[in-house]
């Protein structure tokens, strides 16, 4: 089963590639307080237009390059749409 993640776009400087930061909450091992952890993933955009700040869903695929293992599934929330409202 392919892993699907949700995160925010942090960079679109590369051609057909974007960087997405995924946040998750994990409990502290001793104190059980929820801590926010994040990790950045490079994703394949397939020529779709993304802007920094968009919220997207990505799905795991076979490796396309050294560190690109995810592709864009869909745009959940666009910054462009939020500005017009």
pLDDT digits (tens, 9 = 90+) for 9-60: 999 999 999 999 999 999 999 999 999 999 999 999 988 999 999 999 999 9
Q: Are 53 and 18 in contact (CB under 8 A)?
A: no
| CB contact set of 4 (below 8 Å; sequence gap of 6+) | 57, 58, 59, 60, 73
Task: Determine the topology of domain 4-84 in CATH.
Answer: OB fold (Dihydrolipoamide Acetyltransferase, E2P) (2.40.50)
| CB contact set of 7 (below 8 Å; sequence gap of 6+) | 20, 21, 22, 23, 41, 55, 56, 58
Say what the pTM is.
0.87
Average pLDDT on 59-72 reads 96
- Paired with 25 in beta bridges are 36
């Amino acid at each position: 089963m392919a892993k699907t993640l949700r995160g925010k776009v942090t960079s679109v400087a590369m051609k057909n590639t974007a960087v997405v930061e995924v946040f998750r909450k994990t409990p502290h091992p001793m104190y059980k307080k929820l801590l926010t952890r994040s990790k950045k993933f490079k994703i394949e955009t397939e020529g779709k237009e993304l802007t920094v700040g968009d919220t997207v869903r990505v799905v795991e695929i076979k490796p396309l390059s050294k560190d690109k293992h995810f592709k864009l599934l869909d745009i959940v929330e666009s910054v462009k749409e939020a500005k017009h409202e």
